Structure 1
Amino acid sequence: MTGAPTQLMNDALQLLQNLIVIPSFSKEEQQTAACIMHWLKAKGIETKRCGNNVYARNLHFDEHKPVILLNSHHDTVKPNPGYTRDPFQAVINDGRLYGLGSNDAGASLVCLISVFTAYYARTDLPFNLVLAATAEEEISGSGGIELLLQDTAFREYTAYAQGLESQSWSAIVGEPTLMQLAVAERGLLVIDAYAKGVAGHAARQEGVNALYQAMDDINTLRAYHFDKVSPLLGPVQVNVTSIETSNKQHNVVPADCRFTIDVRVNELYSLEEVLHILQQQVQSRLQARSLRLRPTSISDQHPLVQAGMRTGAKPYGSPTTSDKALMPFPALKMGPGDSARSHMADEFIFIDDLQKGIDGYHALLQNIIAYE
């Protein structure tokens, strides 16, 4: 698959252009889901849908073999105000394809689809391949990969047995990583903090100022350092990002104060541990909005990682979260494009990156086959 542009690469480019021109904001991916289904069916691939998630399995699926899930998303964020180009025009200029979602994560998605079509009818695979083009990744929504993995029809079609996932399933999650191996990923913990005081008249120095209590706690959080520092992701990062009281009168001591804490958690802690540790440091009451977006890691001895390293790709820790956080089995994040370009104005992907993506995914799978 290396060398001059292949038919797979041309197919990937055409599909990506088709997707770019269709708005597909999170929860509004109906038309891109239909486009992907039409594309796969035109290739003779049986395709199914769950909500706005599209999935397929290889032709010679054998439920006794392990499964490699090829997953990426087809939803996008909304274009930021800095765009100087039409975000829904798939324009090629100077070796670049411009358009919303081209880099994050359209290039990864179409490269995975192209490789899946190339492997679809092979009879010599020591594993099964399941393709999943999913929705709502950009908002970590419940209608994306999480919905798909819970869907009865998907489970039956792919022999996905709850409780056995870690034994028989693994995933390649397509996101822009410059085709390097994101083996660890930060989790996200958003905490609502509530400081309670006693209202009083400011002129008479009455009451207990909840705002001051919150400020004391914020200073404590600012100075606190978690003990475990990851060699891949560094320390847990804690930032207070907003604060407010319900009081709008200048002469009343506020009885309550709410502030928000954004915590980026390395793979050495669970979200529950982090919440418990922080609660011990402060007087304010802490409540997690969600415990879904967990930190993840995949062993460097896992066949996916070993195969990737044999191709020359390097493992690293990713500061960003993805659908990898919602998968209860080992997952490797890897794809063409640069994460630094995600969500930027005038988003683009280098045309050559599509070939690199296809070649990289192909080499990884071939390395697994060769070492079985």
Structure 2
Amino acid sequence: MKIVALQNEAISLLHSLIETPSFSEEEDQTAIRITTWLQHYNIPTQRYKNNIWAQNKMFDSKKPTVLLNSHHDTVKPNKAYTNDPFKAFVKDGKLYGLGSNDAGGCLVSLMALFVYFYDKKDLKYNLIIVASAEEENSGNHGLNSILPKLPEIDFAVVGEPTQMQLAVAEKGLLVVDAYAPGIAGHAAHDNTENAIYNALEDILWIKNYNFPKHSEALGKIKMNVTQIEAGEQHNVVPATCHFVVDIRITDAYTNREVFNFLQANTKSELKARSFRLNSSAIPLNHPIVKAGIALGRNTYGSPTLSDQAVLSCPSLKMGPGDSTRSHSADEFIYMDEIKEGIEIYINLFNKIL
């Protein structure tokens, strides 16, 4: 199929996706549109919850398999929007609408790539496309829920806005609820066990501590206390203070190692919400990375989280659009970014397939 036709039809699909609300856990209608678009090319699809996937026509279980993945859920629009977030329109070469940049442009570009290679013979790799749900909220029924249903994956390309540069590593996420203990009492009396003061000791340690091992691609681990709550009235010293720690973890440590270290150095009771959102990376000498570098793409480490976090195989994050526009008011992606993204994806895979 001609690339220009694919570009136009991919952009048309993105218009439709923008105008179909698809908040995390509510993506059933965009799942239908994605299925219909693929079936237009006579591509059989499978569905679990709101995840849609398909494999190339000449799939051969003896060959290694590449996963192409991006998500079709969105965050909710913020109050600063001046446009209708569910109205797709083009102005000055920009396609506006919620999810246009994160990650609709990436998704339709990967789908165009998949269609381009779908029925080609004698490929070195199998291809599986997955349009996943619940990425924005790291939900239980997203990509992680269908991985056991897929053939073994040798490596993956995850579509997120990177300006078509090569994000060869991505920080993981560990969210920790901390409960600093204290003894309740009247504020007018001496009380040496104020839960807020105990929490402050731990918070200051978290603020000032630097983990000794740094990642070549991702730099340092970043810890931030992002929420805190304690007390019910002004004259009562609280018995507990709850605070939340957001930790962006590099490939120098596992999530469990970081949690255990925090536990050994703080007084608060710590509870991790999940250990499954690990950092990810792909070797610089991997064929897909070498192919990207040969096309003039740059490599870097990404601080933002994606569905890479649930993959155990090597994975590359790459897609059209700019991450700084994600979750912003009046979200947009340039039309030329989508067209260029499809061309670069196809040229990239032509080098390895």
TM-score (normalised: structure 1)? 0.92
Q: 1:126 aligns with which of 124, 139, 144?
A: 124
Matched, 1:181 2:179: no
In 2, Cα distance between equivalents of 1:79 and 1:344: 8
Q: 1:287 aligns with which of 271, 275, 285?
A: 271
Q: Post-superposition shift, 1:229?
A: 1.7
Q: Which moved more, 1:96-105 or 1:303-312?
A: 303-312
Matched, 1:345 2:329: yes
Equivalent residue letter for 2:172: G
Q: 1:67 aligns with which of 50, 65, 68?
A: 65
1:47 aligns with 45
**SS of residue paired to 2:203:** helix
**SS of residue paired to 2:243:** strand
1:317 aligns with 301
Matched, 1:145 2:138: no
1:99 aligns with 97
1:9 aligns with 7
**SS of residue paired to 1:190:** strand
Equivalent residue letter for 1:329: C
**SS of residue paired to 1:192:** strand
Q: 1:330 aligns with which of 314, 319, 322?
A: 314
Alignment of 1:1-372 (within 5 A): 6-150=4-148, 154-155=149-150, 160-161=151-152, 165=153, 169-206=154-191, 208-245=193-230, 247-369=231-353
Equivalent residue letter for 2:336: D
- RMSD, aligned CA: 1.4
Q: Which moved more, 1:10-19 or 1:207-216?
A: 207-216
Assess, with a 3 A threshold, how the Cα gap between structure 1 residues 255 and 360 changes in structure 2: closer, same or farther.
Answer: same
Equivalent residue letter for 1:205: D
**SS of residue paired to 1:37:** helix
**SS of residue paired to 1:137:** coil
Equivalent residue letter for 1:134: S
Equivalent residues of 1:221, 1:281 under 8 A apart: no
In 2, Cα distance between equivalents of 1:265 and 1:124: 40
Residue correspondences, number? 353
In 2, Cα distance between equivalents of 1:206 and 1:365: 66
Q: What do residues 29-78 of structure 1 show as CA deviations (whole Å, max 9, x unaligned)?
A: 11110011111111111111111111111111100000011111111111
Equivalent residue letter for 1:59: K
Equivalent residue letter for 2:282: I
In 2, Cα distance between equivalents of 1:326 and 1:194: 28
Which structure 2 residue ranges, 5 or more long, are not aligned? Answer: none
Equivalent residues of 1:90, 1:98 under 8 A apart: yes
Equivalent residue letter for 1:289: R
Equivalent residues of 1:102, 1:348 under 8 A apart: yes
Q: Post-superposition shift, 1:306?
A: 1.4
Equivalent residue letter for 1:295: S
**SS of residue paired to 1:6:** helix
Which structure 1 residue ranges, 5 or more long, are not aligned? Answer: none
Q: Post-superposition shift, 1:207?
A: 5.2
TM-score (normalised: structure 2)? 0.97
Give me the identity figure in percent: 52
